[in-house]
Amino acid sequence: MFGLIGHSSSFLDARLKARDLGFDDLADGELDIWCSAPPQLLENFEVTSNTGKTIQGTYIDSCFVPEMLGRFKTATRKVQNAMELAQKRGINITALGGFTSIIFENFNLAKFQQIRSTLLQWERFTTGNTHTAWVICRQVEQNAPALGINLAKARVAVVGATGDIGSAVCRWLTRRSGVGELLLVARQQQRLNDLRKELGGGRVLSLEEALPEADVVVWVASLPQTLQIDSASLRNPCLMIDGGYPKNLDSKIASPNINILKGGIVEFARDIGWQVMEIAEMANPRRQLFACFAEAMLLEFEDWHTNFSWGRNNITLEAMEQIGAASIRHGFSALGLDAISPAPAAIAA
Amino acid sequence: MASSVLDPCITDELPDFSSEAYKLAYSRINAIVIEGEQEAHDNYISLGGLIPGQVEELAQLARMEMKHMKGFQACGKNLGVVPDMQFAKIFFAPLHDNFKQALSENKVVTCLVIQALMIEAFAIAAYHIYIPVADPFARKITEGVVKDEYTHLNYGQEWLKANFEASRDEIMQANRHNLPIIRQMLEQVADDAAELHMEKESLIEDFLIAYQEALMEIGFGPRDLARMSAAALVS
């Protein structure tokens, strides 16, 4: 059995979802009440691979909402308690979705292995970042040419380049995709310099410097609330892969010339009998899901019961290739642009 | 990464066990624990009358509760604190009255829900949260106790599981009537618990985790659990 730990994208969404599920008391409750709510096992479902193998899955809502980010202890508890629940239910491999893995990493929760009477077994959990990184790279490789962008000559900016996913994406785009030039954007200068050294290339730039130069922008950082992007200064065409969390890039940029693709999202070959992805506002919630969740499915399909993605900056190209091959084998494909914007004449016709 | 809002800034610091404020809070919390263990003892003995085949097992559980009570009395003495037993008796009165009422009506299911599920889950949550912020003497005692309490929770859980279909409606009713009382009890001690560096928010969450886990083992589905536990969150 595999597990997915997720959460609502906002407190408002969480209340609406509670109402949908018939939990009126929770739907009416204030944030303080949600801060005391234990994780909930929301649904069990089956997934059948292209190979014919069927596996069982469980979705656990941690009852975390992003409004709790300022409350260190609360956020920590939500993640730990959801992980404990997954382990106690005997789930082999569970993906930490949304903010869950970010909280785990940034609060260094690996220090706290004992949760009440449960010793958390890290091999039962994965951040899913290897698959996410692979999917994002594939999205770049498949969609840039469709927009007329020649990757061999293109400048690709990676925003959040030094993070776990960002650094893996940089490695792949350099060594496998062979992009023209990488523009490295992140907050920590020392980490940027180290990454540049490791890659043997790439230019370190500020976000403001990088954006007007980039043919492709891969966002793997959460966007600051105050971020303003001047669409007119961007290249045309420009492919933007919104791989951060939450995926709100489309609220920052409104321009028909900019193609924004939700990054790190996969589409499965057939419908999955679940309701959870409706909560995540997927365009096709029966088939689309976060690649990190799909990684837990892949590990279960393949019987790789191990914390495949764990810690920071451990993602190797070999691991990406391995998970990528499994992804294709079992019926996942990387989400693409719906349709390349047709020329005005075509619309008129 | 949204690390600007994700910088850890709080560490668990031990309270000043010798301060007057701590001792005053401890006089009430310690009394609640002592009274809770005493009542648990009495309740398990009483339950022997309703479940005659298990008198010996229940007597065994009751004996453990007495041992716990003595351990916690020692914790109070160790800090030079006199437990406020009158406060504790009033604190437990509503729940105790409901237990006595159910006992007089031979409602074994309700009795088990109150004592073996709710009170034991409450104790497990409180002890787990107390252990990291307890004085060294009390920590040792409490670590021993918490292991036993799982056995007690397990007793009620197993009985109700074996009789699930016949008990289901009564469990839900007992839940509805008594969970808001548990919530009120938590509210009443929140300030004293905070003085001991135990947060209300995590007390409620940990209680619900233990309680929901028991309900799940008994046979309730995930949707039932969320609805049933909401009574503790919203009251």
Percent of chain A with pLDDT over 90: 77
Q: How confident is the model at residue B12 (pLDDT cuts 50, 70, 90)?
A: low
Chain A positions touching B3 (Cβ under 8 A) are 106
Nearest-angstrom CA–CA distance, A184 and A82: 35
Per-residue pLDDT averaged across B51-60, rounded? Answer: 93
Distance CA B182, CA A204 (A): 57
Contacts of B4 in chain A (CB under 8 A): 224
pLDDT digit string, tens, across residues B165-217: 999 999 999 999 999 999 999 999 999 999 999 999 999 999 999 999 999 99
- The per-residue pLDDT for B44 is 95
Find the mean pLDDT for residues A149-175.
97
CB of A21 less than 8 A from some CB of B = yes
- Does the beta-carbon distance from A28 to B234 stay under 8 Å? yes
pLDDT at A305: 94
Closest-CA residue of B relative to A35 is: B201
According to DSSP, the residues that pair with A268 across neighbouring strands are A332
Contacts of A242 (CB under 8 A, 6+ apart): A219, A248, A249, A250, A260, A261, A262, A263
ipTM field: 0.88
Q: Which of residues 122-181 of B touch A (CB under 8 A)?
A: 124, 128, 146, 150
pTM equals 0.91
CA pair distance A30, A120, nearest whole angstrom: 31
CB A219 within 8 A of CB A243: yes
Q: Which residues contact B182 (CB under 8 A, 6 or more apart)?
A: B95, B118, B122, B207, B232
| DSSP class per residue in B66-94 | HHHHHHHHHHHHHHT----HHHHHHHHHH
Give me the pLDDT at residue B13, please.
Answer: 79
Please tell me what DSSP assigns to residue B15: -
**Three-class secondary structure of residue A338 per DSSP:** coil
